[in-house]
Each structure stands twice: as structure tokens, then as C-alpha cells.
């Protein structure tokens, strides 16, 4: 089979689906979602073909698949674009294809396909439910279909296209194109219910916060392109280019070009993967519909940031040999990553909204990956990226299912409560057994529940890399965050599913349709099994039973192999076990008795710290005061009113007024007295002279003759005088 062609084709079906839905199919919901799902299915199928080929004996371990075409003529050469499949893109393609397809299917149920149209629903707002008459002429409220159903599928198709494009790219330019199109889609999808002011604000916030990172990244691309003359991976990651990047100093702060470009690109990653200090957009992004949260927070967009960081590792770590001093970008990454991991985990402790907990958890887990890369644990970071994508997509979709079930209860009961507040739930395990079971699997994976779950293996690998590489601070910070992670996960599970229902809505919640539960089941399979491919050889008891395929496969990406230290200490293993089980157990202990009371026990136990956590350390407020408001003020008052209207236009009006004044002055002092009146006077005096000498005009020939004679005589006299 022509795998080169297949790779080119991977991103195409969703793009076609997008255009067809937007232009032709948008009036039919059924046609729209069929197109989207067929397209996602085709891309999935292509990806699976490629994946199976890639891991096979003739696959990418022998030689990565690269194919390029000329795109932009630049002077006497071309900027090339193309596709590439290597170990990293193969595994990314694998998890992206699965999660995307599952999310597409899930969206059908989530947007209430098959339900009646809402009574008062309008485009731009979430559906508010419809009244139906049942057989015995009693009317009751049920959920209603999303008024912009077709549009949703168009958007997520475009989103899927962008992600596939990013993964199969063999160069940073098309990666950046996919990256930015995803940014647009996340803007459109977060603001999907655009009539809600909060959604509108969240959409703008997401777009602009990530754009901060993107403009830095653009400069990074420009510098790299200037130096390397290309943006293709095979060129920019070649030994020759890496050498010259390390050896040549950039004009900024005495850094090498490798460090500068690495940092610039990393700022882009910070924006996209929602790391501190650009993390603020992601929790607000929960304004979008739940499948969007799963797309953005698990399968695609935030993963794209980490994917880029992993892809870019050769430059980020250029000059680092393992065991030596970390490069500047690596140092920055390990600090920002581990700080974000802890910082976001603490905020997650205090959130009441089921999706917001997961949002902060995502930020925290991405911090793990970034920190892992920062300390050089390349394979561990990639491994956690994969496992996290599966279990976090599972958790988000599960939370969507919970909200959906709760909304059902809310309509049924007519209660006015927030269906996303975990303190309004409780006891849902009876009502929603499939959601419960899958959610627990996802939650345990997130907490790193030992041996069974995928999360354990990937997280353990990061912790042991940190420990074995003697990055003790990173190790401790990550271990504490892991404990907090297990704690808030169990808090969530206990509050939502265990105990007794705390509201009527919760007691009338309802399991969601098959289109929603099926993706949960599929994803929960991966949330467990994805870990088995990466069991370290040195793991006591289990190591070596299964080959550590992941490490061999992805590790092949690094030129000189991974610089990991080989010995396997038992300390990180025991730490993993302790933090995971300890966190889960404590979480259960604290929250198991929550009945009707809706006060979080953390409020009194943490006191004022809780208030700070609940307000996310007041970072949003800080940004508003320090950046946003001054920017608005400068734009409006300084640049527009003061500079343009007052100074520049003021000078212009000054000049024109001066012109007017000069004109008036000239008219009054020169025109009128000298020219106008002068002319008048000239005319007058001419007339006067004329009338005075009129007497000479007698009309008699004798007089004229006499005058002529006299004048000639006079003339001759003067002539003679002049000559002699």
C-alpha cells in the first residue's frame, strides 16, 4: 500500500466534511453528523493503517516516511511542506484518531439528537428543554436538541482536520497552520453558545491568551528559518544545524540561538498547553459544550503543545548530554512544568464545578509532561501524553455524561440548581452505572492507581526519571502534586457517585444514551491497557513480562538514545504507591459522609487559604488590573485620543488654521487695500487722465498735423542731443 499517499490523505476527510456541512448540508442534522462521523471514521481508518504499518517490521524504525512538495517560492529556492510519519507522529496519530472518533460519536448523544426542538431555544444559547405530551395527555419537560447541531459538527470537523494536519506535518510551518486553525476552532467552540456573555468572554480569553504564545512562536519560527534555511524536521534537527544553533550566539542576553529559539517556541507551548502564567484561559474554556472540553483538553489542542515540545526536544536540549547541566530552555521547562503541576492541583482542590476540577487537573498533568521533558525524560513525557489523552478524554466525556444525566433530572424535577455543581450530586452510581464504572477507571488512571491503570505506569516513569536523574526538587514537587491529584479525584468520585443523592435532580438522574456510553467504554479500555506497552524492564516482579515496547519505539526518535540513568531505585516506586493510594484514601475519608450538607469541609479546614484557592490565587484579577485595563487605556486614551486626535490632527488643524489665517490676513491687508482698491484707483486715474487729455482730441486734421510736426521736431532735437 502507498503509505505516503495515505499520510497525505489523513487530514483531508474532516476538511471536506467541514466545507460540505457549511455550504450544503447545514439544514439537515442527520446529514451533517453522518458526514462528520464518516469523515472522522475515514481518518481513523487511515491512521490505523498507517499506525499498524509504522510499528511493523517494515515501519518507521527502519526509516521514517517523509514526503515533501514545494510550497512557497523564496528567492531562488522553495519553502517545502510535507508529511512525515515517525515513531512520535505514529503514536500521536494513534491516540488522536481514537479520541477524536469517540468524541464525534459522543457528540450525537450529547447534543440530544432525536429529541424534539426546544420551546424557547434560540441559536447561541444552550437548549432549554421541550415540553411534550405523553400518552395520557400529561405534559412534561424533556431535553431538546441543540439548535445549532449541524454547526457543531462542522466546527469539530475543522478542529479534527487541524489536529491531523499538525500531527502528520513534517515541518513547523504546517504544524503552525494546524496549531492556529485549532486556535480558531477552540475560539468558535468555546464561544459556541455565543449569546452567553460568559462564553463570549471565555472565547476571547482563550484566543488571545494563546495568541501571546503564538506571536513569540512566530518569531521563533522566523529565526529558525533564517538560520537553517528550512522548517523541515529533517533539516532543523540535523546534527549540522543543531551544532550551528548551539555554537552561534544570538543578539539577545548572550544566549545561544538554540536557547533563544527553544525559549520562543516554548512560550508558544506554554500558551497552548496552558502552563503558568498563561494557564488562565483553560478553566474558562469550560463554557463550551462538554465534547469540546474533551477535544480541547485531552485529545487535541493542549496535547498539541506538549507534542510540539517533544518534537522540538532536539533543539530544546541541544548541547545537553545527560548528567550535565540542563540547557536554559530545559531549566525553564522543569521549573514551569513542576510549578504548574503543583499550583493547578491546589486550585483543583477547591473547585465545585465538575468540569473545572478536570480543567485544573489537565493543567497540572500537562505540567507533569513539561517537567518531564525539562529533566530530559523524553520517553516518559511522550508516554504520559498518550495515557493522559485517553483517561482525560474519558473523564471529560464522563463528566459530560454526568451533567447530561443531571440535566435530565433537573428538567424532570423543575429544580433550579446548577447541574454542574458536584455538591448537588451524590449517589449517581445507582442511576448511571456505566458512567460510574468508566469514570472510576478514568479517575483511578488519573490518580495513578498502581499496576492496573495506564496512569500509574506513565506517572511512575516520570517520578523515577526525576529521582534517578537527581532532580530532587522536581521529584518532591511532582510527588506532592500526585498526592493532591489522587485526593481531588477521589473527592470528585465520592461527591458525584457515592453516598446518597443530595438533590431531587440527582435522585432522578438518568443514564445517558448508547452514543454517549459506548465511547466511554472504549476509552476506558485504553485508560487501562495503554499502560501495558510501557512497563519498565527493571520493574520488580512485572518488568520484562511484556516488552517495554513504548520506550524502544519512541526512544528511537532520539539520535543518541535516551540519556536516562539506568538503575532503578525502589524509592520512586514506593512514593508512587504511597501518594496514589494515600490520596485516594484520604479523599474518600473526608468526603464519604457528605449528605444534605453542601459546605465543603475544606472551607473550615483550610480557612483563608481556601478562599485564595477558590479564587485561583486572584491571578485573573491581577491580569485584569495590570495588563488588560492598562492596555485598553493606552489604546484608547494615549494612542487614539491623545496621539492621533490631539497631537497629529492638532498639528494639522493648526497648519490649516494658519493657512486660513494667512489667507484672511493677506486678503484684508493686501488684497483688499492694494490689489482691489489699487486696481480701482488705477481705473479711476486712467479715466481721469483720459478725460483730462480728451481736449487734445479735437478731430481737426490741422491740429494733428501741428502736433505731429511739433513732436517730430522735439524728437529730432533729443536725438541730436543724445548723439552729440
Q: Give the residues lining the site for other proteins (CB under 8 A).
A: 22, 70-76, 122-124, 173, 176-177, 179-181, 184, 187-188, 191, 194-197, 200, 203-204, 207-208, 211-212, 215-216, 218-219, 221-223, 225-226, 251, 631-632, 634-636, 639-641, 643-644, 648-649, 652, 656
Residue 149 phi, psi dihedral angles, 5° rounding: -55, -50
Nearest approach in angstroms of CB 675 to other proteins is 25
**Which CB, 232 or 517, lies closer to other proteins?**
232
**Which CB, 124 or 450, lies closer to other proteins?**
124
- How far is residue 127's CA from residue 193's CA, in Å, rounded to a whole number? 10
Angle at 216 (CA atoms; ends 210, 222), nearest 5 degrees:
130
Contact residues for 471 (Cβ-Cβ < 8 A; gap 6+): 334, 375
Nearest approach in angstroms of CB 639 to other proteins is 4
DSSP 499: S
- How far is residue 396's CA from residue 404's CA, in Å, rounded to a whole number? 12
**Which CB, 217 or 359, lies closer to other proteins?**
217
Contact residues for 180 (Cβ-Cβ < 8 A; gap 6+): 214
Nearest approach in angstroms of CB 85 to other proteins is 22
Nearest approach in angstroms of CB 113 to other proteins is 20
Please state at what angle helix 301-311 crosses helix 149-168, rounded to 10 degrees: 10
**Which CB, 218 or 590, lies closer to other proteins?**
218
**Which CB, 167 or 372, lies closer to other proteins?**
167
**Which CB, 32 or 515, lies closer to other proteins?**
32
Nearest approach in angstroms of CB 573 to other proteins is 45
Residue 537 phi, psi dihedral angles, 5° rounding: -65, -30
**Which CB, 196 or 510, lies closer to other proteins?**
196
- How far is residue 164's CA from residue 538's CA, in Å, rounded to a whole number? 35
Nearest approach in angstroms of CB 644 to other proteins is 6
Q: Residue 237 corresponds to which cell in the numbers above?
A: 534537527
Phi-psi region of 565 (alpha: psi -120 to 50; beta: other; left: phi over 0): beta
User: Which residues does residue 78 pair with via DSSP β-bridges, in sequence order?
Assistant: 73
Nearest approach in angstroms of CB 547 to other proteins is 40
**Which CB, 70 or 685, lies closer to other proteins?**
70
Report whether 707 contacts 696 (CB < 8 A).
yes
Nearest approach in angstroms of CB 222 to other proteins is 4
Positive or negative, the CA dihedral 87, 302, 263, 66 is positive
Q: Residue 609 corresponds to which cell in the numbers above?
A: 487559604
**Which CB, 86 or 287, lies closer to other proteins?**
287
**Which CB, 236 or 342, lies closer to other proteins?**
236
Q: Residue 178 corresponds to which cell in the numbers above?
A: 494546524
Burial class (CB in 10 A: 0-12, 13-18, 19+), 497: buried
Residue the block writes with cell 482536520:
161
- Is there a cis peptide before residue 277, judged by omega within 30 degrees of 0? yes
Positive or negative, the CA dihedral 504, 506, 510, 512 is positive
Contact residues for 560 (Cβ-Cβ < 8 A; gap 6+): none
Name the nearest CA neighbour of 101 among 149, 49, 33, 169.
33
**Which CB, 627 or 670, lies closer to other proteins?**
627
Nearest approach in angstroms of CB 128 to other proteins is 14
Q: Residue 144 corresponds to which cell in the numbers above?
A: 431538546
- How far is residue 325's CA from residue 343's CA, in Å, rounded to a whole number? 26
Report whether 422 contacts 492 (CB < 8 A).
yes
**Which CB, 589 or 626, lies closer to other proteins?**
626
Nearest approach in angstroms of CB 93 to other proteins is 21
- How far is residue 351's CA from residue 349's CA, in Å, rounded to a whole number? 6
**Which CB, 165 or 484, lies closer to other proteins?**
165
Nearest approach in angstroms of CB 195 to other proteins is 5
Nearest approach in angstroms of CB 652 to other proteins is 7
- How far is residue 397's CA from residue 432's CA, in Å, rounded to a whole number? 14
Phi-psi region of 544 (alpha: psi -120 to 50; beta: other; left: phi over 0): left
**Which CB, 325 or 652, lies closer to other proteins?**
652
Nearest approach in angstroms of CB 371 to other proteins is 28
**Which CB, 56 or 123, lies closer to other proteins?**
123
Nearest approach in angstroms of CB 27 to other proteins is 11
Residue 291 phi, psi dihedral angles, 5° rounding: -60, -30
Q: Residue 241 corresponds to which cell in the numbers above?
A: 544545524
- How far is residue 43's CA from residue 49's CA, in Å, rounded to a whole number? 10
Nearest approach in angstroms of CB 252 to other proteins is 8
Contact residues for 559 (Cβ-Cβ < 8 A; gap 6+): 239, 314
Positive or negative, the CA dihedral 201, 202, 208, 212 is positive
**Which CB, 641 or 675, lies closer to other proteins?**
641
C-alpha of 260 from chain center: 22
**Which CB, 195 or 675, lies closer to other proteins?**
195
Nearest approach in angstroms of CB 369 to other proteins is 25
Residue 275 phi, psi dihedral angles, 5° rounding: -95, 155
Nearest approach in angstroms of CB 304 to other proteins is 13
Name the nearest CA neighbour of 307 among 24, 93, 596.
93
Positive or negative, the CA dihedral 358, 364, 365, 367 is positive
Size (the chain), residues: 724
**Which CB, 75 or 695, lies closer to other proteins?**
75
- How far is residue 503's CA from residue 419's CA, in Å, rounded to a whole number? 10
Nearest approach in angstroms of CB 84 to other proteins is 19
Amino acid at each position: 500500500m502507498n503509505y505516503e499517499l495515505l499520510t497525505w490523505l489523513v487530514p483531508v476527510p474532516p476538511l471536506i466534511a467541514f466545507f460540505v456541512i457549511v455550504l450544503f448540508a447545514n439544514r439537515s442534522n442527520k446529514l451533517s453528523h453522518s458526514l462528520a462521523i464518516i469523515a472522522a471514521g475515514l481518518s481513523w481508518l487511515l491512521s490505523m493503517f498507517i499506525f499498524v504499518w509504522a510499528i511493523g517490521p517494515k515501519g518507521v524504525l527502519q526509516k521514517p516516511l517523509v514526503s515533501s512538495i514545494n510550497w512557497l517560492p523564496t528567492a531562488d529556492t522553495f519553502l517545502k511542506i510535507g508529511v512525515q510519519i515517525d515513531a512520535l507522529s505514529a503514536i500521536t496519530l494513534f491516540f488522536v484518531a481514537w479520541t477524536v472518533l469517540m468524541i464525534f460519536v459522543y457528540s450525537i448523544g450529547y447534543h440530544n439528537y432525536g429529541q424534539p426542538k426546544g420551546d424557547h431555544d434560540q441559536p447561541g444559547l444552550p437548549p432549554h428543554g421541550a415540553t411534550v405530551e405523553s400518552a395520557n395527555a400529561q405534559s412534561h419537560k424533556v431535553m431538546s436538541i441543540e439548535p445549532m447541531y449541524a454547526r457543531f459538527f462542522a466546527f469539530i470537523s475543522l478542529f479534527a482536520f487541524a489536529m491531523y494536519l499538525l500531527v502528520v506535518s513534517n515541518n513547523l510551518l504546517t504544524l503552525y497552520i494546524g496549531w492556529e486553525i485549532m486556535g480558531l476552532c477552540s475560539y468558535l467552540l468555546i464561544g459556541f453558545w455565543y449569546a452567553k456573555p460568559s462564553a463570549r468572554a471565555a472565547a476571547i480569553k482563550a484566543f488571545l491568551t494563546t495568541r501571546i504564545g503564538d506571536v513569540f512562536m512566530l518569531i521563533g519560527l522566523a529565526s529558525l528559518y533564517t538560520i537553517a534555511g528550512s522548517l523541515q524536521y529533517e533539516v532543523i534537527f540535523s546534527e549540522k544545524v543543531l551544532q550551528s544553533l548551539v555554537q552561534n550566539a544570538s543578539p539577545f542576553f548572550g544566549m545561544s540561538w538554540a536557547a533563544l529559539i527553544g525559549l520562543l517556541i516554548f512560550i508558544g507551548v506554554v500558551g497552548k498547553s496552558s502552563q503558568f502564567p498563561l494557564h488562565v484561559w483553560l478553566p474558562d474554556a469550560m463554557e463550551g459544550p462538554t465534547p469540546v472540553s474533551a477535544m480541547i483538553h485531552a485529545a487535541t489542542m493542549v496535547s498539541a503543545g506538549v507534542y510540539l515540545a517533544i518534537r522540538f526536544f532536539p533543539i530544546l536540549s541541544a548541547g545537553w548530554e545527560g548528567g550535565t547541566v540542563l540547557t536554559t530552555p530545559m531549566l525553564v521547562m522543569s521549573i514551569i512544568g513542576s510549578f504548574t503541576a503543583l499550583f493547578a492541583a491546589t486550585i483543583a482542590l477547591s473547585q465545585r464545578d465538575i468540569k473545572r476540577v478536570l480543567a485544573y487537573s489537565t493543567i497540572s498533568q500537562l505540567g507533569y509532561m513539561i517537567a518531564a521533558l525539562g529533566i530530559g525524560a523524553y520517553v516518559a513525557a511522550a508516554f504520559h501524553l498518550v495515557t493522559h489523552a485517553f483517561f482525560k478524554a474519558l473523564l471529560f466525556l464522563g463528566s459530560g455524561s454526568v451533567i447530561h444525566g443531571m440535566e435530565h433530572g433537573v428538567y424532570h424535577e423543575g429544580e433550579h440548581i446548577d447541574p454542574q455543581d458536584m455538591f448537588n450530586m451524590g449517589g449517581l452510581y445507582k442511576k448511571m452505572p456505566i458512567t460510574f464504572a468508566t469514570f472510576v477507571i478514568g479517575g483511578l488512571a488519573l490518580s495513578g492507581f498502581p499496576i492496573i491503570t495506564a496512569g500509574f505506569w506513565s506517572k511512575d516513569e516520570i517520578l523515577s526519571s526525576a529521582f534517578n536523574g537527581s532532580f530532587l526538587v522536581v521529584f518532591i514537587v511532582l510527588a506532592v502534586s500526585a498526592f493532591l491529584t489522587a485526593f481531588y479525584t477521589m473527592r470528585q468520585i465520592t461527591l458525584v457517585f457515592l453516598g446518597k443523592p443530595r438533590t431531587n435532580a440527582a435522585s432522578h438522574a438518568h443514564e445517558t444514551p448508547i452514543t454517549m456510553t459506548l465511547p466511554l467504554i472504549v476509552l476506558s479500555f485504553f485508560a487501562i491497557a495503554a499502560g501495558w506497552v510501557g512497563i519498565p524492564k527493571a520493574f520488580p516482579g512485572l518488568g520484562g513480562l511484556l516488552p517495554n515496547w513504548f520506550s524502544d519505539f519512541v526512544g528511537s526518535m532520539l539520535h543518541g538514545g535516551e540519556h536516562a540513568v539506568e538503575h532503578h531505585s525502589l524509592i520512586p516506586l514506593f512514593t508512587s504507591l504511597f501518594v496514589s493510594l494515600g490520596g485516594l484514601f484520604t479523599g474518600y475519608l473526608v468526603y464519604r459522609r457528605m449528605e444534605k450538607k453542601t459546605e465543603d469541609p475544606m472551607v473550615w479546614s483550610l480557612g483563608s487559604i481556601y478562599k485564595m484557592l477558590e479564587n485561583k490565587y486572584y491571578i485573573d484579577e491581577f491580569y485584569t488590573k495590570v495588563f488588560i485595563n492598562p492596555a485598553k487605556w493606552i489604546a484608547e486614551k494615549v494612542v487614539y485620543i491623545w496621539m492621533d486626535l490631539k497631537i497629529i490632527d492638532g498639528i494639522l488643524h493648526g497648519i490649516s488654521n494658519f493657512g486660513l489665517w494667512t489667507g484672511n490676513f493677506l486678503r484684508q491687508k493686501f488684497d483688499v487695500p492694494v490689489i482691489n482698491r489699487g486696481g480701482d484707483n488705477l481705473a479711476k486715474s486712467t479715466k481721469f487722465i483720459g478725460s483730462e487729455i480728451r481736449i487734445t482730441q479735437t478731430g481737426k486734421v490741422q491740429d494733428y498735423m501741428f502736433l505731429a510736426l511739433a513732436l517730430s521736431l522735439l524728437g529730432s532735437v533729443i536725438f541730436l542731443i543724445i548723439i552729440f
